[in-house]
Structure 1
Amino acid sequence: MRLLGRAAECAALDTLLTGARGGRSASLVLRGEAGVGKTALLAYAADGAAEALSISGVEAEADFPYAALHRLLIPLLDGRDRLPAGQRAALEVACGLAEGPPPDLYLVSLATLTMLAERPRVCIVDDAQWLDRESLRALAFVARRLHAEGVVLLFGLRADDDDPGLLAGVEAREITGLAAAAATALLVDVVDTPVDPTLAAHVARATGGNPLALVDLGRELTAEQLAGSAPLPEPPPIGSRLEAHYTARIDEYPPATRVWLLLAAAGAGGDPVRLAAAARLLGVRPADAGPAEADRLVTGSPAMTFRHPLVRSAVYGGATPAQRRAVHRALAEVTTGGGDADRRAWHLAAAADGPDEVVAAELERRADRAAARGGHSARATFLTRAAELTPDRAGQALRQVRAAEAALAAGAYARAVLLLDAVDESELPGPARGSALLTRSLAEVNLGMPDGQRLGPARCLAAAEAFGADPDRARRALVQATELMRSAEQFATVSEPEIAAAARLVGRDPESLDELILAGYADFTVGGYEQGIPAVRRAIDAIADPGLPDEALLARLVVGVNLCELLWEDAVKDRLLRRAEAAARRTGALHFLDLVHYLGTMTFTLLGRLDEADRHDEAGQRLRTALGMTADQAQVWRHPELAAWRGGPGLRESAGAALGVFAMLGLGGLHSWTRLSLAVLDNAEGQYASAREILCELVSLGRPQRYAEGLPDLVEAALRAGDRRTAKRALADLALAAGACGTPRVTGLLERSRALLAGATEAEPYYRRAIEHLTGGLGHGDLARARLLYGEWLRRQRRRRDAREQLAIALEMFEEVRAEPFAERTRKELRALGGSVAMPVPKADETALTPQEAAVARLARDGGTNAEIAANLYLSASTVDYHLRKVYRKLSVQSRRQLRGSLHD
């Protein structure tokens, strides 16, 4: 089957289908106005496929979680026993096939990918704008992860849809009207009388080549109009006018026909037997659909199918509110099955003609059931409607707050804010006010609203006070306040001492995890290294406890990493990140996995372990693409500190632009971290005065706390900028931190800094002790810099051989992780000693692999099966096999065992 005027579109679909037969996957969104031919093109693709699964979005199901996904997977569900246990459990709960905890969206998504990838097929999702949010998010995730399964996933989406963001990152093709010649040919094809060529060209132009408008006009125009002897209706029905056009036709039908059509529209996707029973209650029969069937607006009865969704919209939108309520009342009366309670509650809500607490309470119960299936978006919708039906103002506000919480859980942050904007938070009772404040804070932060970051800590602090009688929720709000304070820092509207004062209210003998965290935060904020270390250690030990459940660990990961930074506990932080990464993968918590990669990049850059930082950075970028994050959104997640260690042209300009964005968004932590990174780059390039200026503003001399990590750089920068007094003050602060923490890295950095300030005859023992403390630890960059500084000192002492030895080791360490600014500084020192310095040669086996291939190769080398690797990287087993074959070819190996000798981290 070839479609008139669609040669290019059909060729593009043919290419996708041919690729699928060769094992290549693809996804595509066909986007265009109503009636432009998206459905016809999707049908063309289905006809050309060996196997096709197809569904269309139905407005009536848009508020039922995973309804569309369930319909798509029905032919495959018998094979769900082959899924990994976690995926199977999540999918069964999502589809209502089993009871269990609310499933994670991305475990459901991965289960869908695994089932679809069992063999080549085409999957078609038409009218995607009407899918329930959970189904669309799951299918969008699948679309972005397809690669080598032979699966083609096609979406049809209205061009006027106002929320296309869930399909961001999926290739889209705009479908426009037919060209003049094709439009004319289509008009001639659908009529059985001669058509005047001039008239045909006029109709083609007037309709914009919209096939639906052309077909409808062709069947409605009289022979005289087609011959050009009678005027045409003006304006011709196209775009938004099509629905009005259908409404006018429906208004001409007998009342019984209109009732039957309205019943079918309101119960779209419902049971035909139920529709027939509701029809009897309304005094109409399936035969009453006759006039509409004769006009080809509908087919079949009572399981009626509308020829186009616009017809259904015209029927429902053209009815009076009283008529719609009567139809929904009848549908509610016949919807009595145990599994139909959600649909019955929805019909009851649509039938209500005013506030009704009974219906509102039922909707609230249905909302909780939706949440149990992971349907947070549906829960928000049910609660919003429940609030509308709530008779008293106070009860209405409480339900709106709960709806906002559900919207936040669904990732619908703008919706959460809008719901809260309709509530006077000052009139809410304490716990509800706390929920509203906490929800607004998190929603605005996730939306990137500047006031969200600035006001976030203060709102969390106010939420904790509002929760007063509920200490557990108050503590969680305060922990959230500490997290947001670390993010907002100097831009926040409250200070850390204010939050610390509230945190002290937990008592002096904390027992619960959150109490320990808050006690550690408060003691360190108020008492610094002298008084805060014991409480911070207790908190870190509690977070790092192997018995802590995965969910609790992930929820407190940011706090745990922050506390480890204060105590220079690199080994504990590394264990936390590795355990959190495993937990996030195991439970399907992809947003937490993204957070792990972000924190991992920062952590390992700070340590100078840039290869490990690269792994996290590349994995995070791939994951954000899979999650649908746009390029603009991803900019906030880039890592200036990693770029600073790598150097390169334009770096300072891009960092300056990033500082402006961070200031605008109130991201004080990223603003400070970027400046700290520029100071490190300044030290590498010998711009010591600039580094000193930046670090003096970041490091609170005399009271080392948050940015004590910058003290070693400040010692070096200040000393070489001629400010020995500042260098000594920074050394004293570093000595205080080292004495309190005692970890090998901070002790080694203290010795390195002492060496810089020591006299010419006293420095060497400090350098040697610094290298001794730093060797074997995680601080690869710190050790390399210690050797560089030692080599520079040795050159000044005219000990050329010893200097060359230390500098050569430092250069090798810098080149190993591609820390180019420090490597170039080291080369200059070596050139000053005489002789040439060779530039590094990239390792062939390292540069041959893409980041995705390297990730697959590492897991395969460590013994992972294809299925285990697929679950770990959120791919299909087919894609893992594809990447693994490329790895073998590039590295000239033939097995996983050979990988162990050919691939190194």
Structure 2
Amino acid sequence: MRGRRDECEELDRLVAAARLGGRGVLVLRGAPGIGKSALLEYVASAAGDCRTLHVAGIESQMELAFSGLHELCEPLLSLLDRLPEPQEEALSTAFGLREGTPPDQFLVGLALSTLLSNSAGESPVVCIVDDAQWLDQASVRALAFLARRLTTQPIAESVAMVVAVRSGEGAGSWADLPGLRLQGLAEPDARALLESAVSGRFDARVRDRILAEAHGNPLALLELPRWFTSAELSFGPGPDSTTRSRSLTSRMEDGFRRQLALLPQQSRLLLVAAAAEPLGDVRLLWRAAGLLGINVDAARPAERAGLIELRETVRFRHPLVRSVAYRSATKSERQAAHRALAEGTDPATDPDRQAWHRASAAQGPDEVVAAQLEHSADRALAQGGLAAAAAFLERSAVLTPDAEDRVQRRLNAAQVMMHAGALDAASQLLTVTEHGPLDELQRARLDVLRAQIGLASNEGRDALPLLVNAARRLAPLDEELALDSYVDAFTAAWFAGHLATGPSAMEVALMVRDAPKPSLPRRGDDLLRALAVLFGDGYRTAAPLLRTAIKAFDTDDLSVSEAVRLLWLATVVAIDLRDGTAWDRLVVRHLRIVRDSGAVSALPLALNSRVFLALFSGDLTKAKALVHEVESATELAQIRMTPYGAIGLAAFEGRDDPTTRLLASARHDAAARGEGLGVALTDWANALLCNGQGRYAAALESAREAAAHPEEMVVRSWSLVEFVEAAVRTADPAGAAAAVGQLAEVAEASGTDWAVGILARSEAQLHDGPRGEELYREAIDRLGRTNLHVESARARLLYGEWLRRAGRRLEAREQLRRAFDAFTAMGMEAFATRARHELSATGETVRRQAMEAQELTAQELHIARLAADGLTNAEIAAELFLSPRTVEWHIRKVFTKLRVTARRQLADALRAISTSP
């Protein structure tokens, strides 16, 4: 470890922290040969008294879903039955230990966290990941999720993770994690290492040239002298040498290639087979070697050269050796190696690797192998391996003899790639596909996929015209696919909103009304046609149809496809109808099905919907926990998305500076992407924030912007409410009255307590005397029947302010006190402060609630509430996706902060927090 003292000390600190119950992550980044693997060997030695788990990425198995994670967790499989049932099922399915539905990758990450936590209860755990750039993507996502939990979550796990990744190769998944960028050794250390690799004396000028070329790279310093002849070491390279113009990595590869060239033919073929076999299975290698006619003595020259070790497993001296051994072989040699490995692999225990080897051995189109790869794709999907399934399908397409079948498999591969988040790869595959012979149906499907990729990329403006044109072409070819495309078009129109280019939502509605009905009606078709009526004929006409359409989704017999594609849209409709009960039921069902099905790309949207239900219900603690989940899920799905939930949470909390910065940044990004919905949502959030802070002129401006566009359904309705409140306070009664008129249309058509209560609250602000009081009381009564406690508290605040202005101080105090208590308990600081100021104006002295008594973090408060409700630590862990040890750790902190000694005391302690003056 010459010259790596600082790095070793950093690794020592990480391991020491794990021994003391802490947790941490360190990502080692650097060029090939810079010493990453050597540092990993050092940390393994330093953690000799800990449980160390190892995995190394191998380029040839990058497409085998969860293979890396399975290898890492192999020593812990006996602990699987100690996981909460959903987590145990997710990992077991991911590892192929049981059949089942595709596991939610988010749940796999949580299960990994719990598994390691359980193991850490016996001994500190150190996870060592080498060549992370070559791990399969499913494993990368799970491990990166774990790494971020270890760096961001307040948990005591006794778990450390050290990851080595090449600079510039797959490093994005590990971005923003604590790390060390390894540089070359300092000149004295580099010189000493070089001299240790050379026997005898050599020309000082050659030594200096090697030092200059190596730039302190340890592998280069050790290998470069081996690649020069004695004459070259004394006099420099000969006249034919071109190494000076090559990159260092290329020259190192050249050096290994020269070493390989000195080996006997059978030894080189054995290394080719070993490089093609990802598991390092010595027995499989020798079976393949026998089929290739390679005798057992062939390994000795390669072992003597230090290129490979054959012990319990196959180990190459360096990943570059594996890469060079494989790539320097001829095509026929590689095919022969894969053919032998395929024959030596048991199809009953490992059919997918056998299929991959058979595909690599194929000399041309082969329908039998293509079909086998397609079956492997099905199995990969059953294990949640979207990336693996896409790779199998893509390779299957290449080997498909029939042109029409080849196009179909390419389209299927692109669709799976899209769901896996590999949007660029999916686009590239579609580009290749569109130049082939496509019939009209296939070309329309290709356009739909291209548009769906645009939607996933938050480029709704580009997706909308493609979807509309594709739907028109599909109408005479495939009625159901045409209508599905119109659903996606509505989605695109809703996200693009007022920034849409091409057809508007109203134009899409007219097209839907003219489209023929399918012979077998589906739930989605009724919802689609109800939306068409909404945009074509107005809210009043559409409301009964919308209400009927969303009722059809309030059932347990939904297919996964219906739920993933349509439940979020049904939820949006429920909110627009101001049906809080339907909103609750649909969003919970949506989130459950998305989790159970493993539809990672749909998870962030489902979670965001759940965030807003928690916000309007006044459970900001739950909302905050969900926002953290959204961040993890968005990262896991590798998609870009406006942080809707975070925006809403910030506005409800009402903290000025951080919220203002978040809204400005989100609005700018949404506008740049052409996402009108994101722009409108930030305007609404700013109006809510400013109304809470009493900055009514600013609230009016933002609310006017957000309410100006009818195509942005829910946000427009919410913004009208903020507009009324701001307009009344800025002496714009005409504008307020116009907005109330629009809210009246919603209330009359909807008829729910939420809609009628909001109308009464809004209209009350326009009146003095008995009519105003009657409306306020109706608002409080109506909204009090819902589960939307924020709306009820705001009605009391407005009524209390109205009473105070009327000189009825004692009555005002009652309403303002209840509003103040509610806002404070919820954590809505701006509205709580506004209520406190109003209470002070009535002559009542108000002290801020003892927030020091609420020192509990959002996570602690949530856990405390669940414990007070009687849940065990294991049940809380399953509910919040934590390990039981982490829950226990939080409970101890809660007991200390609340000064209680038993769980039965928690309910009273929490009640005291929420009501203390």
Give runs of aligned pairs for residues 132-151 of structure 1, distance below 5 A: 132-146=136-150, 147-151=155-159
Contact 1:35 1:213 in 2 (8 A): yes
User: CA 1:779–1:293 in structure 2 vs 1: closer, same or farther (change >3 Å)?
Assistant: closer
Contact 2:627 2:646 in 1 (8 A): no
Contact 1:702 1:729 in 2 (8 A): no
1:113 aligns with 2:113: yes
Of 550, 564, 575, the match for 1:540 = 550
Structure 2 distance, partners of 1:672, 1:852, is: 30
Contact 1:193 1:223 in 2 (8 A): no
Of 43, 46, 50, the match for 2:44 = 46
| Matched residue SS, 1:154 | strand
Of 648, 671, 682, the match for 2:656 = 648
1:372 aligns with 2:376: no
Contact 1:58 1:131 in 2 (8 A): yes
1:328 aligns with 2:338: yes
User: CA 1:754–1:341 in structure 2 vs 1: closer, same or farther (change >3 Å)?
Assistant: closer
Give runs of aligned pairs for residues 855-874 of structure 1, distance below 5 A: 855-874=862-881
Structure 2 distance, partners of 1:559, 1:249, is: 62
The residue type paired with residue 134 of structure 2 is: W
The residue type paired with residue 184 of structure 2 is: G
Q: CA deviation at 1:563?
A: 0.9
Number of the residue aligned with 2:13: 15
The residue type paired with residue 107 of structure 2 is: L
User: CA 1:878–1:470 in structure 2 vs 1: closer, same or farther (change >3 Å)?
Assistant: farther
Structure 1 distance, partners of 2:312, 2:881, is: 43
Of 172, 178, 182, the match for 1:175 = 182
The residue type paired with residue 267 of structure 1 is: E
Q: CA deviation at 1:621?
A: 2.5
| Matched residue SS, 2:90 | helix
Q: CA deviation at 1:243?
A: 0.8
Structure 2 distance, partners of 1:508, 1:285, is: 66
Structure 1 distance, partners of 2:772, 2:319, is: 81
Give runs of aligned pairs for residues 271-420 of structure 1, distance below 5 A: 271-300=281-310, 304-335=314-345, 337-391=347-401, 393-420=403-430
Number of the residue aligned with 1:566: 576
Number of the residue aligned with 2:858: 851
Number of the residue aligned with 1:600: 610
Contact 2:227 2:258 in 1 (8 A): no
User: CA 1:209–1:690 in structure 2 vs 1: closer, same or farther (change >3 Å)?
Assistant: closer
Number of the residue aligned with 1:76: 76
The residue type paired with residue 136 of structure 2 is: D
Structure 1 distance, partners of 2:17, 2:658, is: 40
Cα deviation, 1:128-180, whole Å, max 9, x if unaligned, reads 2222222222222233334433222222212241x222334543222222223
Structure 2 distance, partners of 1:701, 1:31, is: 48
Contact 2:457 2:639 in 1 (8 A): no
Structure 1 distance, partners of 2:896, 2:591, is: 29
Cα deviation, 1:642-673, whole Å, max 9, x if unaligned, reads 44451524755653443332111121112112
User: CA 1:549–1:877 in structure 2 vs 1: closer, same or farther (change >3 Å)?
Assistant: farther
User: CA 1:802–1:444 in structure 2 vs 1: closer, same or farther (change >3 Å)?
Assistant: same
Cα deviation, 1:695-730, whole Å, max 9, x if unaligned, reads 555547999965233334444444555554444333
| Matched residue SS, 2:323 | helix
Structure 2 distance, partners of 1:291, 1:426, is: 49
Number of the residue aligned with 1:247: 257
Contact 1:640 1:677 in 2 (8 A): yes
Structure 1 distance, partners of 2:711, 2:249, is: 67
Q: Which moved more, 1:374-383 or 1:675-684?
A: 675-684
Structure 1 distance, partners of 2:871, 2:896, is: 19
Contact 1:417 1:444 in 2 (8 A): no
Structure 1 distance, partners of 2:180, 2:711, is: 59
Structure 2: runs of 5 or more not aligned: none
1:766 aligns with 2:775: yes
User: CA 1:481–1:337 in structure 2 vs 1: closer, same or farther (change >3 Å)?
Assistant: same
Structure 2 distance, partners of 1:453, 1:313, is: 41
Contact 1:326 1:351 in 2 (8 A): yes
Q: CA deviation at 1:417?
A: 1.6
Number of the residue aligned with 2:753: 744
User: CA 1:22–1:198 in structure 2 vs 1: closer, same or farther (change >3 Å)?
Assistant: farther
Number of the residue aligned with 1:491: 499
Structure 1: runs of 5 or more not aligned: none
Contact 1:169 1:630 in 2 (8 A): no
| Matched residue SS, 1:152 | strand
| Matched residue SS, 2:162 | strand
User: CA 1:613–1:460 in structure 2 vs 1: closer, same or farther (change >3 Å)?
Assistant: farther
Structure 2 distance, partners of 1:411, 1:524, is: 33
Structure 2 distance, partners of 1:407, 1:529, is: 38
1:899 aligns with 2:906: yes
Number of the residue aligned with 2:535: 525
The residue type paired with residue 27 of structure 2 is: V
Give runs of aligned pairs for residues 575-586 of structure 1, distance below 5 A: 575-581=585-591
User: CA 1:54–1:497 in structure 2 vs 1: closer, same or farther (change >3 Å)?
Assistant: same
User: CA 1:279–1:784 in structure 2 vs 1: closer, same or farther (change >3 Å)?
Assistant: closer
User: CA 1:549–1:854 in structure 2 vs 1: closer, same or farther (change >3 Å)?
Assistant: farther
| Matched residue SS, 1:390 | coil
Structure 2 distance, partners of 1:109, 1:819, is: 32
1:129 aligns with 2:133: yes
Q: Which moved more, 1:685-694 or 1:274-283?
A: 685-694
| Matched residue SS, 1:153 | strand
Structure 2 distance, partners of 1:152, 1:705, is: 47
Q: Which moved more, 1:685-694 or 1:511-520?
A: 685-694
Q: CA deviation at 1:190?
A: 4.4
Number of the residue aligned with 1:731: 740
Contact 1:414 1:447 in 2 (8 A): no
Q: Which moved more, 1:113-122 or 1:652-661?
A: 652-661
User: CA 1:105–1:777 in structure 2 vs 1: closer, same or farther (change >3 Å)?
Assistant: closer
Structure 1 distance, partners of 2:518, 2:385, is: 41
Q: CA deviation at 1:323?
A: 3.2
Structure 1 distance, partners of 2:710, 2:527, is: 25
Q: Which moved more, 1:190-199 or 1:208-217?
A: 190-199
The residue type paired with residue 852 of structure 1 is: Q
Number of the residue aligned with 2:719: 710
Structure 2 distance, partners of 1:485, 1:395, is: 33
Structure 1 distance, partners of 2:323, 2:77, is: 32
User: CA 1:856–1:463 in structure 2 vs 1: closer, same or farther (change >3 Å)?
Assistant: farther
Number of corresponding residues = 893
Of 685, 698, 715, the match for 1:677 = 685
Q: Which moved more, 1:35-44 or 1:648-657?
A: 648-657
Number of the residue aligned with 2:67: 67
Q: Which moved more, 1:572-581 or 1:490-499?
A: 572-581
| Matched residue SS, 2:525 | helix
User: CA 1:812–1:849 in structure 2 vs 1: closer, same or farther (change >3 Å)?
Assistant: closer
TM-score scaled by length of structure 2: 0.87
User: CA 1:437–1:213 in structure 2 vs 1: closer, same or farther (change >3 Å)?
Assistant: same
1:513 aligns with 2:530: no
Q: Which moved more, 1:641-650 or 1:415-424?
A: 641-650
Structure 1 distance, partners of 2:318, 2:594, is: 43
